[in-house]
Amino acid sequence: MSEAERASRQRLALALGALSLLLMLAGLAAGSEGWSLPQTWALLNGPDGSLVVWEIRAPRTVGAWMTGALLGLAGAVAQGLFRNPLADPYLLGSASGAVLGVVVVLAAGTLVGHGISLATADVIARIGLVGASFAGALLGVGLTLSLARGAHETTRLLLAGVVVGVLLGAISDLITNVAPEALLGKQAFLLGSTGFLGWSNCALMAVGLAIALPLAWRLSRALDALTLGEESAVSLGLALAHVRVAMVVALALATGMAVSQAGLIAFVGLVSPHLVRRFAPAAHGFTLVASTAMGGVLLLASDVLARSVLAPQELPVGVLTAVLGGGYLLWLLHRRKIA
């Protein structure tokens, strides 16, 4: 590693750390009346105000960072697995599976008269939206692996993910056709939101991140080998099928945990690895960790903007990330076209 590369990585790490701390403070200061540090200080000095800051704003702020971190990690794993910079965390059917899980819970009461027993509907309702979306995301990835007959070929895995996504999406549309009252909840889930995150959600995501990040980091050498081509990776002694399955597990865990807590948030998982590679190109070990932090920074920044731009109204954070992320990718395409 050259001195310039080491310096660029150190600068990026310091920048991500500083931005995370600053955005955490901004998240604590962003309320229903916009961003105001003096007002936040006044709230902290009052008995009821401190409850607002530490029990509403603080878990939402930490949860937004963790959600973005999980998506950034999942995006880096997906792009390394498929060796494609346009791969995102939702390629393997996790998004459509999560949506289906949410729709089934929302429509459980209506479905009692359409082939589902009252006992089954009661069990579904007890699972809840978070549990159902997480289970649905894992179901989507599991169906993709089953249809692709394992992870022997990335092309077959990718095509299976597309098929499963279309199939599960069609099933959720069919359910909403029978139970139209589920449409509003489905729309809210598709837009994404960090407004309902509490400390328990943060704890769950912390556990997911503590499992997925070390697993992905241990696979970073395999991702480096895959950049040389499959034949070269096999010649180095890699059991590609087992390695890919482990990557899919890390990808599914990170994506499912993020989606189940905050809904579908676009472009964070896609853009985070791009930004890391742009400012500090490196092997996958550094890229995975830096993409995790970058995802946290991007989503937390978007969340603070979503709370502050039109206060007291709040923008759906998923819409804001789609606009910002899509704009960044369009700028990249325009720049390459000019070059």
Q: Is the pLDDT of residue 273 over 60?
A: yes
Classify the phi-psi angles of 128: left when phi > 0, otherwise alpha if psi is within -120 to 50, otherwise beta. left
Mean pLDDT, rounded, of the chain = 85
Q: How many CA atoms lie within 13 A of 186 on its CB side?
A: 23
pLDDT given for residue 46 in this prediction: 61
> Range with the lowest mean pLDDT among 80-94, 123-137, 209-223?
123-137
Work out the number of other CB atoms within 10 angstroms of the CB of residue 42: 11
> Range with the lowest mean pLDDT among 109-113, 210-214, 246-250?
109-113
Relative orientation angle of helices 154-178 and 94-106, to the nearest 10 degrees: 20
Instruction: Give the gyration radius of the chain's Cα atoms.
Output: 21
Q: Is the pLDDT of residue 225 over 80?
A: yes
DSSP state of 180: T
With tokens 């937390």, the residue in question is: 300
Distances from the Cα of 239 to the Cα of 90, 231, 234, 242, 250, angstroms: 25, 11, 7, 6, 17
Q: Which domains does the chain have, with CATH numbers?
A: 3-338 (1.10.3470.10)
pLDDT given for residue 282 in this prediction: 86
241 vs 1, which has greater pLDDT? 241
pLDDT given for residue 223 in this prediction: 87
Q: Are 43 and 49 in contact (CB under 8 A)?
A: yes
pLDDT given for residue 235 in this prediction: 74
Q: Is the pLDDT of residue 119 over 60?
A: no
Instruction: Give residue 143's pLDDT band: very low, low, confident or very high (50, 70, 90).
Output: very high
Tell me what percent of the residues of the chain surpass a pLDDT of 90: 45
